[in-house]
Amino acid sequence: MVDYSVNGSVAVLMVNNPPVNALGHAVRVGLKTGIERGAKDSRVRSIIIIGKGQTFPAGADIREFGKPSKEPWLTAVGNLIKTCSKPVVAAIHGTCLGGGLEIALFSHYRIAVSSARVGFPEVTLGLLPGAGGSQRLSRLTGLPVAMEMISSGRHVPARKAKEYGIIDEIVSGDLLKTALKFAQEVQSRPFKDRCLRYKVVPNADRVEEYASAALTQVKKKYKGFEAPVACVQAVRSSAELSYEEGMKRERDLFLQLGQSGQAKAQQYAFFAERAVTKWQMPGGSYKTAKPLPVRSTAVIGAGTMGSGIAVCLLSAGLPVYLLEQNEKFLQSGVKLIESIMAGSVKLGKVSMETAKRAATLLKPTLSYDDIKDVDLVIEAVFENLDIKKEVFSKLDKICKPSAILCTNTSTIDINRISSATSRPEKVVGTHFFAPAYHMKLLENIYGTKTSPEAVATVMKLGKTINKVPVLVKSCHGFLANRMNAPFSSEAIFLVEEGASPQEVDQVNEDFGMPMGPFKVRDLSGIDISWRINREVAKVLGTSITKETRFLGGNRYCGLNDDFYDKGRYGRKTGKGWYLYEKVGGKTAVADPEAEEIINSYRQSRGIVKRKITPQEIFERQFYSAINEGFRILEEGICNMPEEIDISWIYGFSYPKYRGGPMFYASQIGLQRVYDRICHYHETCPYSIHWVPNRLLKKLAENNVPFTQWANHVSKSKM
C-alpha cells in the first residue's frame, strides 16, 4: 500500500491505494513503517510522500468509520512525520483532502502541481478534521480562512492555497522529479521551525470577533447542521488554548460529532450519491452501455423550465439552440437566460468568462430546420400529452437518426410520448427540478423501449452539467413526484381538518426542509397546481367542481381552488397561502384573509376544526411519502433506497443530515413506521396512499437491515 524506494539521498513513500489513495489501516501502517525506515536509512537525508495514480491521499478511508479503529491512528503517523529527524516533503497532485491534508500539514514542506486541490471536507461527512488539522491550519492561514475552509469543506485550488500559505511552492513538469530536486535542496536547511505546532496563531487576540462572525455565517448557511458549528469551535480553540489543549478539544468535538446521527446520515449520503451512478436497466448498465457524444443541443420551449435547462447546458460549454413558436416567447426566454446568467455571476456561482462564452453558444430560433443536426434535444413545453406528442412527432421527422430525444415531463409516462415517434429507443426522460439551474437532481427516466445507449448518454450528460443523475423506470409521476404527491396532498388535508398552513410549514422547517409545503406552493404558483389538477381530471375523464371530494377514487381537497378563485396565486400576486410585502415578494406572513378563506371552506363543507399535533403533521406527510417509496421499490421503479434518498436530497432539498426519507425510516424502525401507516389507513380511509405497502410489511416483519432492502426490490425490470 506504500512503496518504499530510495533515489540518491531521498526516500520516496509512494501511497498506492486506488482509486483515491484513502488512508485506510494498511496505508497508515505503510506510512509509519516508511517514515521509520527512512529515518534509519543511512543513505537517506530527506523523505517525500507522494500518491500513485490520480491523487495524493484524498482522506481517511470512510468505509472504516463506525468500525473499531486500528492502530496506528492518523495522529500517531503524523507525529512520526513531524518529529522525524529528516525533512519530509509532501508532493501533492489531484485532491489532497481530509487526512491527506493532515499528513501534508504534519510534513515540513508542501509542494503541489497547479491543478491540485486541498481541503478539509470532513464537515460534509458530519465531522471535523480529527488529527489536529483545525489547530495547524489556523497557524498557517490565520483564523478567518481556517474557520471558513474547515466549516465549508471547500476544495481550495493550489494557487489559492499558496496565497493562504498552505502550499510552499507550485511546481510544473513531472511531480516526482521536481519533488526529488526540492527534497535534495532542503536537506541543507534547518527545518525544525517548519513544524506548525510551534507557530503562533496570527491575530489570536481577535478570536472572539472572528468566531462570532463565522458562527453567524455558518448558522445561516448550514442551518440545522451540527458539524459546521463544531468546526468553528475547534478552530477557535487553536487561538484560545495551548496546542495540547486545543488538540484535546478538537478530539472531543470529533468524537462527539462521530457519535451523532447526523454524521452517520451524511456518510450514508456520500456513498448513496456514488451508488446511484451504478445504474441498471433491462438489457444494460453503466458497465455495458456506451454514451453517445453530445456536442450540440437544442431546448424546445423557452419558458421558465426550458430557459433554466438551457442555462445548465450553456454553463457546461454546450451550444444550445433555443426553439420557440413565436418571437415574443423566444425573446422572453433569451432575456430570462441572460438574467439568470447575470445573477449567477453576481453570486460568484459562474465566472464572467463562462457567462460571456454562454452568450456566444446560445442560438435562439423559431425553426425546427435549425436543429436537424444536433446530438441531443430536450423538450420543455407545457405539461400536456397532446402538445408533447406533437413536438416529438416533429422531432422524429427532422432530427438526425442518432439524436437522443429527451422530454422534461415531470409526470407523463415516457412510453406515451415516445409512441409519437418511429424511434422510441432514442426517447428518454430528463426531468429537471425547479429552478433548473440551481437544483442538482436530474431524474432520468427510461421507457419500455428506451435503449441503454440513450440512458448512458443522459446519465453522462447529467454529470457534465454538474447534476446528480438518478435513473428510474417510467410510470406516472416517476419517483420524485410520485412520492411528493401524498406528501403534499396530506399537507392540504391537514389544513382542511384544522391545522394552519403556518403550523404545517413550521413542522417541515423544524425537521430541516428549507421551506414548508405552503411556502413552496406560493413559490411555484397556486395557478399551476390548479391547472395540474384540471389536467389530472381531464385524463381521468372527469372535471372538478365545488362539490368534488374525490378524484380518481382518492380524497380531494378544493382549498387550493378557493385560493385560485380569489386570484391568490402566491408570490406572483403578492398573496396566496401567505401575504407578501409586494407582488413577487419573498417575505411570507400569516394573512387573516387566507385564514378566512380556510374557515369558510371548512364551514361550507361541515368540517369541524380540530387541533392537530406536530407529530401527526410530521407523520401524515413523511410516512405517507415513505409508504409510496416502498411501493416504488416494490414495483422496481428504482433499484435501491439510495435512489429515493438522493432524489429527495437533491430534488426537494431534504436535509442531508437526515440521510433521506428511506434512511430515516430505517433509523426510526420499520415496524413503527408500518404501525403508524396502518393507523392512518384506519383513520384517513379515503386516500389510496395509506394502503400499507406489502414490501414494507415484509421488511418490517423480518427485521431486514437497510443494506439488504435492495435485495427485495422487484427484479422484473432486470
Which residues bind to ligand LFKQWZQV, rule: CB under 6 A? 19-20, 22, 58-63, 74, 95, 97-99, 102, 121-122, 125, 130-131, 271, 274
Q: Which residues are catalytic?
A: 102, 122
Q: Cell match 463544531: residue?
A: 230
Least Å distance, CB 85 to ligand LFKQWZQV, is 25
Complex with ligand LFKQWZQV: residue 175 or 617, whichever CB lies closer:
175
The burial class, CB within 10 Å (0-12 / 13-18 / 19+), for 208 is: exposed
| Spatial strand order in the sheet of 88-92 | 2-7, 10-15, 46-51, 88-92, 109-113, 169-171
Nearest approach in angstroms of CB 238 to ligand LFKQWZQV is 16
Residue 353 identity: E
* Residues present in the chain in total: 718
CB of 98 to ligand LFKQWZQV, least distance (A): 2
DSSP state for residue 189 in the 8-state scheme? S
Residue 561 falls in which region: left (phi positive, over 0), alpha (psi -120 to 50) or beta? alpha
| Nearest residue (CB) to ligand LFKQWZQV, 121 versus 517 | 121
Neighbour-count burial for 28-63, b at 16+ CB within 10 Å, e otherwise: bbbbbbbbeebbeeeebbbbbbbbbeebbbbbbbbe
What are the two backbone dihedrals, phi and then psi, of residue 216, each rounded to the nearest 5 degrees? -60, -45
Cβ atoms within 10 Å, residue 478: 27
Helices of type H across 174-275: 175-185, 207-221, 227-240, 243-258, 261-275
Residues 6 or more apart whose CB falls under 8 angstroms from that of 216 comprise none
Could you tell me the CA-to-CA distances from 401 to 301, 374, 397, 492 in Å, in that order?
A: 22, 10, 9, 46
Q: Given the complex with ligand LFKQWZQV, which of 125 and 696 has the nearer CB atom?
A: 125
Of 58 and 211, the one with the shorter C-beta distance to ligand LFKQWZQV is 58
Cell 405552503, located at residue: 518
**Minimum distance from residue 147 beta carbon to ligand LFKQWZQV (Å):** 18
Pairing of strands 550-551, 554-555: antiparallel
Looking at beta carbons only, is 358 or 649 nearer to ligand LFKQWZQV?
649
- Shortest reach from residue 130's CB to ligand LFKQWZQV, in Å: 3
> In the bound complex, what is the minimum distance in angstroms from residue 593's beta carbon to ligand LFKQWZQV?
49
CB of 267 to ligand LFKQWZQV, least distance (A): 9
Reference 431, options 460, 458, 394, 398; nearest CA is 458
Nearest to 514 by CA among 650, 616, 312: 650
CB distance 225 to 657 below 8 Å: yes
